[in-house]
Amino acid sequence: MLDFVSLSKERYTAKHYDPNRTISKEDLDKLLEILRLTPSAVNAQAWKFFVGSRKSKDLILPAICDFNHDRIQNCSHFVVLCAQTQLDTDSYKAVTVKEEADGRYPNHPEIRDIVDEHRIAFGRMHQQAGDYAQWTAKQVYIAMAALMYGAKSLGIDSTPMEGILFDKLDEILNLPAQNLHSVAVVSLGYGASDDSNRKRPKSRKALKDVVTFLD
């Protein structure tokens, strides 16, 4: 397995996929576990991920901009990353129940209750500020990054996409009824051998141009 710096150097955004290669169930399960384990603010996990394969590509294709069609039509799988639109206290309380079941509060119900109250208060703060949907969307980008680097660690290529008709995608997946909105789509698979982006040198700004030391 590559170290993270090597992963960062070798990962690229696939522009074209090999339609004849499919991600194994074993590797797909690993990717979904990476998504499940992604950190989020106050561990709210205010998200949901819809996973599709070549069988379901036609379902979302009407919501994908033309220039991204190839990334959906020929990839092995895709993930629609969604975030909560409004505060859902039942969802937050379910997190606390799961935390307790996982042993995070052994013999300390008072700590459990404090964490539960603070988590909901944090969500309510964003709800009252009017930026709850934006706040939860930011958490989804953490999951997207984890998914893409996790994919690369398994030799799987990826393409993050915002070239999407979000309202249309929300309608197709009936997201408003689930208190969700789509944030991004990531296609997954194996880059085509003639994908020119695979062979291009990675280019980023110099460290001095993006990092400022404060001490």
The answer to whether 139 and 46 have CB atoms below 8 angstroms apart is yes
Residues 176-204: tens digit of each pLDDT: 999 999 999 999 999 999 999 998 999 99
Q: Is residue 30 part of a domain?
A: yes
Q: Is 55 among the domain residues? A: yes
Q: What pLDDT is stored for residue 173 in this prediction? A: 98
- Which CATH number is 69's domain given? 3.40.109.10
Q: What is the DSSP string of 82-125?
A: EEESS--HHHHHHHHHHHHHTTSSTT-HHHHHHHHHHHHHHHHH
Q: What's the number of domains the chain is made of? A: 1
**Chain centroid offset of residue 194 CA:** 27
Residue 215 covered by a domain: no
Q: Which H or E element spans position 210?
A: helix 207-210
Q: How far apart are CA 124 and CA 212, in angstroms?
A: 34
Residue 121 lies in a domain: yes
Q: Residue 120: pLDDT band by 50, 70, 90 thresholds? A: very high
2 pLDDT band (50/70/90 cuts)?
low
* Beta-carbon contacts of residue 210 (< 8 Å; ≥ 6 apart): 204
The answer to whether residue 115 is domain-embedded is: yes
Which domain covers residue 33, as residue numbers? 4-210
* 169 in any annotated domain: yes
* pLDDT at residue 208, rounded to an integer: 97
* Each residue's pLDDT tens digit, 74-89: 999 999 999 999 999 9
Q: Read off the tokens for 88.
A: 């859902």
Flag whether pLDDT at 1 surpasses 80. no
Indicate whether 120 belongs to any domain: yes
